[in-house]
Structures are given as C-alpha cells and as structure tokens.
C-alpha cells in the first residue's frame, strides 16, 4: 500500500493540488485540495482509500470502487449531499473528489455554542431524515452518521451530510452477510458492530447524534453499561417534551425490530411537534424525565395556596382592625330589617325624615362599603371558578396528547384555594357574615331614596 509522502506538495491526477490533510482513519485519508484545471481554482475534497485495509485486492477492489463511485455520483444529485466531481486510481490507491462544503460541522458548533435545544434537535431531524430516506431509497447505508459528518453550510445554513466513504450498497444478499466494521464506535448500532449494518443502523446513529448534541456528553457516558440502558435524561441541559423523548428512545432501541425501520416513520411521529408554537423549549419531558418533578410542582403549588390563604387572612385582620365591621353587632342587627326584599312597598318607603339620625348615618356608611365588598367578592369568586374550569380543560387536553399537564393543575389548585378562602377562612375571621349581609343589603339599599 502506498501513501502520499508530502501531501501539501502533491498533485493528484495531474490537476488536484493537495493543500492539507483534514481527516484520517484506518481506511483512508481526506484532503483539502484545489482544482488547478479550473480558472477559478475551486476548492474540493479528495478522499484516498486503502483497498487492502478493506480486505479487497486487485481487480475485485477496482471493480467495487468503480461501482461505489457511480453510486455516490447518483447520490450527489441531492442538494444536501456533496456532489461527486471525479474518481480515479493512482499508485495503487483509490481517490474520489467531491464538492467542498464551506461551514462548521455540528461537533464544532457544539463546542462553541453548547447543547442544542429541543427546537434545534427537531430542526436537525427534519433536515437530515429526508436525506437518509433518499440514500436508503438508493439502497445505500451511510454507516458513519455523527455530528462531525453533518456540516452547516455557511452561505444558507443548510445541513449537509458528508463523508460517504464508509457507505455501503445494500441488497438482500449483502445484508445477509457479515461485513467489515466501519464507522465511529460511539455512534455505531449494535448490529453494525457485528458487521451487519441495516437501514435502521443509520437511524440509531442519528439518535445517538441527537443525544450528544442535547447533552454535550460523549455517547459512551450516556449509557448504563451494567444494565445496557440509556440514561441520557440524567444529563439534559435543556428539557425536552415527552413526545421527542419517546422518538429518541425508539431510535436508540438495541433490537432492530423495536427500532424505527425507515426515516419516514420517524418523520410521521415528529409531525405533531413541528409547528414552532406547539412545544415550548421549556416544556419538561414529563414523569419519565424525573418521577419526582410533578410531585415537587404539586407541593410548590400547595405551599403557594397556603401563602395565599395566610395573605388574605392578614388582609382580613387588617380590615377588621381598622374598619371593625365584624365587631359591630349593631350594624349587622341594623341591616337585618332591610334585607327583607318582599316587604310592603309602602312600609319600605318610609320618609327619611322619620328615621333616627343614628340609623340614617349607619345607612349612609353601609352604602359606601356595599359596592366595594360586592365587587370584590364577585370578582374573586368568578376568578376562582374560572381558574378551576380553564385549568381542568387545559390539564385534560395536555394529558390526552402526552404533554406536561402541571400548568393546568396549577390553575385548578389556585381556583380551589380561592374558593376555600372565601368560604372557610373569612367566616372564621368573622368577615363572611359581613360580606353576605352587605351583598344582600345592596339589593335593598340601591332603591332607597337619599335624604
């Protein structure tokens, strides 16, 4: 096997000048080059393969290389796959030349910007899954899906899937055979480790890619190797919805029959979460992310309700201290005859001149407080009832579609707290009778003629 001694000074195929090495593995190298046959000297990517490392030799290796090159040429027609510009053999090595994609890969972006949010993960899946659907329809398995092989094109932000050097043509005969392990171990599906890659192997690798981008933790550390289960939720920097969590779990199934078989299946399950307003980034993944999360919210809401009751009680005590309505039985007693709405109109319309001066003053004082107490009680009880109704509807709707229902539960508990306050706390303080009496008195006194 020959190699390039000084790649920075080499010219391949008489026109591709090597600038530098940009990647290297056990099966080949990747170079950044310029095409000196073009007046604009465009940059390109040259990939060198070592056929002997792949277990092939001689004419068979050359024939397989040409088949793979033609297949990559077909794939290059997709706008999110680098176009194949050329392929050739030189000095016992095989080379393909592809379009250069200018932009950072997702591994580089992760180091600069930190973990992705749920919305960004959904956008990633929405962009890459159609590409996998396309290559799988051409019977090609990529076999090396990982953040470093997804580049964000600088000119328009489009995600480009690169490095098809490890890709393999898939047929019933080929898939039944045990082949060579190719790919990055941390992102490789279990069946691919055994040399039997399938279409779903790419989906598994895409799922692992999402975990790494969500947590910024290496994939091997996101698995409990003793139990053979993923524990990625314990490392989340940004919470995810229950729906996205279920999609990722199914992408990561070790058994191929339990895993998604086709990219279209994943897209169908993601469809309800595609609208930007449907799933906020801060919506937690529900009880599956943290079983105690919901209980903590309930305790917090309950404590808030207690604080609310104590606050209202304090306000009531203050009002009762400075305006001692609850400590004046004469005022309540004075109101009783006026709360009889069915009395003879003639008796009710006694000229005010015949009333005692003390009673008249009490009537005027009551008329001042009646509108305020009536308005406050009506508004607060209406708010409490509305909170229970709207919160219940919201909680049931969220539960039905698998979303977090604790916001709705919070509304319900707030409404219940308000109702309990006005029906238990205030009567204990002696204010309940005053509110009921003033509300009833309003019906009588609003028709009373002024002096």
- Told to judge if 144 belongs to the known catalytic residues of this protein, a careful annotator would answer yes
Burial of 341 per CB tally in 10 Å (0-12, 13-18, 19+): exposed
Measured over the CA atoms of residue 105, residue 229, residue 236 and residue 283, the dihedral's sign is positive
CA–CA distance, 394 with 235 (Å, rounded to integer): 30
CA–CA distance, 136 with 267 (Å, rounded to integer): 15
Query: Which residues, including other chains, have CB under 8 Å from residue 212's CB and lie 6 or more apart?
Result: 110, 147, 218, 219, 222
CA–CA distance, 119 with 270 (Å, rounded to integer): 12
Cβ 137 vs Cβ 74: under 8 Å: no
How many residues comprise the chain? 451
Cβ 212 vs Cβ 219: under 8 Å: yes
**How far, in Å, are 49, 174, 176, 299 from residue 53 at the CA level?**
9, 19, 22, 62
Measured over the CA atoms of residue 407, residue 413, residue 419 and residue 425, the dihedral's sign is negative
Task: Name residue, tokens 């076999």.
Answer: 143
Looking at 144, 163, 202, 363, which residue is catalytic?
A: 144
For the chain, give the longest Cα–Cα distance: 126
Residues acting as catalytic residues: 144
């Amino acid at each position: 096997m020959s190699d390039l001694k000084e790649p920075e000074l080499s010219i391949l195929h008489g026109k591709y000048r090597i600038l530098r090495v940009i990647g290297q593995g056990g099966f080949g190298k990747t170079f950044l080059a310029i095409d000196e046959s073009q007046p604009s000297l465009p940059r390109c990517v040259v990939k060198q393969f070592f056929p002997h490392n792949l277990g092939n030799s001689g004419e068979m290796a050359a024939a397989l290389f040409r088949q793979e090159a033609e297949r990559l040429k077909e794939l290059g027609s997709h706008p999110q796959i680098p176009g194949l510009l050329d392929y050739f053999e030189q000095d016992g090595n095989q080379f393909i030349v592809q379009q250069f994609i200018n932009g950072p890969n997702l591994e580089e972006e992760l180091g600069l910007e930190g973990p992705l949010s749920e919305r960004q993960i959904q956008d990633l899946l929405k962009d890459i899954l159609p590409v996998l659907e396309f290559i799988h329809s051409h019977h090609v398995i990529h076999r090396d899906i990982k953040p470093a092989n997804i580049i964000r094109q600088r000119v328009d932000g489009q995600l480009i899937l690169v490095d098809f050097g490890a890709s393999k043509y898939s047929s019933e005969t080929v898939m039944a055979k045990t082949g060579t392990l190719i790919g990055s171990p941390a992102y490789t599906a279990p069946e691919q480790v055994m040399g039997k890659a399938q279409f779903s192997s790419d989906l598994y690798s895409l799922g692992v890619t999402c975990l790494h981008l969500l947590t910024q933790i290496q994939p091997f550390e996101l698995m409990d190797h003793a139990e053979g289960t993923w524990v990625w939720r314990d490392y989340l920097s940004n919470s995810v919805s229950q729906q996205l969590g279920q999609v990722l779990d199914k992408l990561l199934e070790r058994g191929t029959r339990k895993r998604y078989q086709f990219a279209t299946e994943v897209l169908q399950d993601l469809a309800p979460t595609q609208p930007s307003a449907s799933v906020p980034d801060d919506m937690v993944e529900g009880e599956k992310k943290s079983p105690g999360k919901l209980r903590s919210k309930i305790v917090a809401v309950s404590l808030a309700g207690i604080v609310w009751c104590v606050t209202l009680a304090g306000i009531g005590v203050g009002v009762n201290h400075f305006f001692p309505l609850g400590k004046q039985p004469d005022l309540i007693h004075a109101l009783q005859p006026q709360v009889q709405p069915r009395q003879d109109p003639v008796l009710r319309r006694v000229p005010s001149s015949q009333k005692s001066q003390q009673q008249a003053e009490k009537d005027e004082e009551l008329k001042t407080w009646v509108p305020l107490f009536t308005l406050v009680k009506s508004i607060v009880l209406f708010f409490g009832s509305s909170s229970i109704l709207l919160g219940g509807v919201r909680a049931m709707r969220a539960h039905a579609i698998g979303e977090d229902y604790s916001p709705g539960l919070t509304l319900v508990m707030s409404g219940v707290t308000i109702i309990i306050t006005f029906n238990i706390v205030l009567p204990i303080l002696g204010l309940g009778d005053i509110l009921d009496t003033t509300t009833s008195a309003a019906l009588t006194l609003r028709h009373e003629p002024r002096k």
